[in-house]
Amino acid sequence: MLLRASLTTPLAAALALALVACKPASESQPPCEQAAEGTLVLPLGDSLTRGKDDEPSYRYHLAQLRPELRTMGTRSGGGGGREDDGVHFDLDRYDFGACPHEGHGGYTWAQLDAGFDDWAASYEAAPQVILLLAGTNDAFYGEPTAESVAAAQSLVTRLDARFPEAQLLVGLPPPARDPEVDAALVALETELVPALAALDLEIDMDFVDLGEGFDPETMLQSDGLHPNAAGDAHLAAQWNAAWPPVE
């Protein structure tokens, strides 16, 4: 796996990732329709997992590539589809219901680590595949790299303890349009990958470079952080290409 180089494109507008609390899906969001039996997946991360505004994240596009997937988590819907969001998916564009996930907008590695045990206590089954994607907020907020890496190690250790039979894919976030934020992302990835790889784990873990082939000029929303439809489709394709064998 190759880590991408830092980008130097100027930022048009840098905005923080939106943080919203978990609420039931609104009446405008159709119910989740998933296979009755299939691979059980835990999408875990920040708003790149949750979705933003009218983009329901890579989860929608991955569901098109792998219709056999079933997702789990304490949250439902995504960038739209909950009354408190103030934004809703454009349902004419996306027939995507309020499917469960564990995407928490605005969360850093430390916040995901702090919240995970409470969320996991409500899970009724163990995931077969975990898609873990975080780090963009750490870079945006300027969190110390050592603290972010330590929190990531702690979270992965928690995942290993709870779900040792799962397949864990750790996504390396796509680039940001702001050169400083992107440089911080690259610096974090450089420390994060060997630190996680050095852990003594039972869980099968691999890294997925979601930034490979990602064009921040054409694949990001106007905030320069969140993928647009093309960007989310790219992330889904990267996840799909790295998909592990599941018994």
CB 156 within 8 A of CB 115: no
Q: Which residues pair with 224 in a beta bridge?
A: none
The CA-atom distances, in angstroms, between 231 and each of 20, 35, 111, 147, 177 are: 22, 25, 25, 28, 13
**pLDDT at 95 (0 to 100):** 54
Please give the average per-residue pLDDT across 190-208, as a whole number.
98
Quick: pLDDT tens for 223-243: 999 999 999 999 999 999 999
* Domain spans, the chain: 40-241
56-70, 121-135, 201-215: least confident range: 56-70
Quick: pLDDT tens for 134-184: 999 999 999 999 999 999 999 999 999 999 999 999 999 999 999 999 999
Say which residue, 25 or 79, is predicted with more confidence.
79
CA gap 95, 103 in Å, rounded: 19
Quick: pLDDT tens for 146-160: 999 999 999 999 999
Provide CATH code, domain 40-241.
Answer: 3.40.50.1110
The DSSP-derived string for 102-134 is EE-TT--HHHHHHHHHHHHTT-SS--SEEEEE-
Average pLDDT, the chain: 83
Name the pLDDT band for 99 (thresholds 50, 70, 90): confident
Tokens of 220: 């990001």
The amino acid that residue 25 corresponds to is: A
